[in-house]
């Protein structure tokens, strides 16, 4: 016997006219998420009253069958992963798109039994959501749907491009009696390249840490690589899945990361990579940065023929001895500049020539005064001669 439900989800009562006698109520199938109830044997009396040995099943002229919910386990879950591809199987990135998925009780995906979850894509070709707290001993079916939960196996993007959902191993997942975590993947295959979508390239980043003598050095530090759209490192790129990339050495001397890069159909994307802080500010020339930075590739251009590239950033410690020598040299230079150069002293030779000059005790040289006196006499004499000529 099948029982309909009221709008609030409760079971709807059904009236059946029965002659006096003994009957058995049997449930052929239980609602999704519930266990099938045991049969109930009951007796209808001459006055229409019912009785049953099943406790609580018969009251007055009414027989009630209750279904127990299946056991749920917090460790029971289904992870659903969606990938975006062309009909040829090539990965494509969505700049910013949202799709929806839900779990259903039937293969045709008409009876939804879970909340609707959003598969969000932002410069990525893959998105994953997880459904938790699921019933054991239950088979679930995965289906794409609209935001209101209406299922479909085909869809359209905003520009009208159609796509189909393709499950490689079917869209059903069974949760056994022991629960567990299950995973299912499917693809959306687009019949043509839609607007707002890009072809996918990969940028491999490597961070290496060196000691001052060039040897690998282990560290627990986290460094950051910035991916920019311009060679002056002023604008972080919006064509990558992540433009500030943490590189945690985890007590090693190197760390790696892989970043997805968006290429417009038949176009190209050029990127510039350098060391930055956690906020994306370049640190290579900062006085506070304690390493010498070298980047093996100044710029990378991705296109149809170049979809994979690598950049290595090396941080090498500055030698302490070099810093000390430099400081000592600067101090010596300052001392040299501020110390006056001593004048050379000339030791006079003893003269054997005798003079008749009178010793006055004044050593002031008089030669210059004699010259001045002669010059004055010449000027006065020249003036007298000029005056006589005029007469």
Strand duo 172-175 + 222-228: pairing: unpaired
- Tokens 């189909």, located at residue: 164
pTM above the 0.95 mark?
no
Strand 244-248 to strand 77-86: parallel, antiparallel, or no bridges (unpaired)?
unpaired
pLDDT in tens, 130-159: 999 898 889 999 999 989 888 776 677 767
Q: Phi then psi for 206, rounded to 5 degrees?
A: -130, 130
| The two domains 1-69 and 77-190 share their CATH topology (first three levels equal) | yes
CATH number of 1-69: 2.60.40
Tokens of 290: 């304690």
Domain ranges of the chain: 1-69, 77-190, 200-317
Looking at domain 200-317, its CATH architecture is Sandwich (2.60)
**Is 77-190 a CATH 2.60.40.1140 domain?**
yes
For residue 336, give Cα distances in angstroms to 163, 326, 331, 332, 341.
80, 15, 9, 6, 9
Longest dimension (CA), the chain: 181
Summarize pLDDT for 256-315 with one digit per residue, the tens. Answer: 999 999 999 889 999 999 999 999 999 976 677 889 999 999 899 999 899 999 999 999
28 pLDDT band (50/70/90 cuts)? confident
């Amino acid at each position: 016997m099948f029982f309909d439900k009221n709008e609030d989800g409760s079971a709807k009562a059904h009236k059946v006219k029965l002659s006096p006698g003994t009957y058995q109520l049997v449930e052929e199938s239980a609602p999704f998420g519930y266990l099938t109830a045991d049969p109930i044997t009951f007796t209808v009396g001459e006055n229409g009253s019912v009785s049953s040995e099943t406790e609580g099943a018969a009251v007055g002229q009414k027989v009630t069958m209750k279904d127990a919910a299946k056991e749920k386990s917090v460790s029971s879950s289904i992870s659903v992963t969606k990938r975006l591809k062309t009909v040829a199987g090539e990965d494509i990135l969505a700049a910013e798109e949202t799709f929806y998925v839900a779990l259903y009780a039937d293969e045709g995906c008409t009876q939804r039994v879970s909340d609707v979850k959003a598969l969000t894509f932002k410069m990525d070709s893959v998105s994953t959501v997880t459904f938790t707290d699921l019933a054991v001993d239950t088979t679930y079916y995965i289906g794409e749907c609209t935001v209101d939960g209406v299922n479909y196996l085909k869809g359209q993007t905003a520009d009208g491009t159609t796509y189909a959902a393709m499950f490689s191993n079917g869209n059903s997942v069974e949760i056994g009696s022991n629960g567990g975590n299950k995973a299912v993947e499917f693809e959306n295959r687009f019949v043509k390249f839609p607007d707002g979508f890009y072809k996918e390239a990969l940028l491999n980043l490597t961070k290496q840490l060196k000691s001052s003598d060039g040897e690998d050095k282990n560290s627990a530090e986290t460094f950051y690589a910035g991916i920019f759209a311009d060679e002056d490192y002023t604008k972080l790129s919006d064509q990558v899945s992540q433009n500030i990339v943490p590189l945690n050495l985890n007590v090693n001397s190197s760390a790696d990361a892989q970043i997805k890069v968006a290429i417009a159909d038949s176009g190209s994307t050029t990127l510039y990579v350098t060391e930055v802080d956690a906020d994306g500010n370049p640190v290579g020339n900062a006085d506070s940065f304690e390493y010498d930075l070298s980047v093996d590739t100044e710029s990378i251009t991705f296109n149809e023929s170049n979809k994979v590239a690598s950049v290595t950033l090396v941080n090498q410690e500055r030698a302490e001895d070099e810093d000390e020598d430099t400081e000592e040299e600067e101090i010596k230079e300052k001392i040299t500049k501020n110390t006056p150069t001593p004048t050379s002293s000339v030791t006079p030779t003893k003269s054997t020539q005798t003079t008749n000059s009178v010793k006055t005790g004044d050593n002031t040289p008089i030669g210059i005064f004699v010259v001045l006196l002669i010059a004055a006499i010449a000027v006065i004499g020249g003036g007298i001669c000029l005056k006589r000529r005029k007469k």
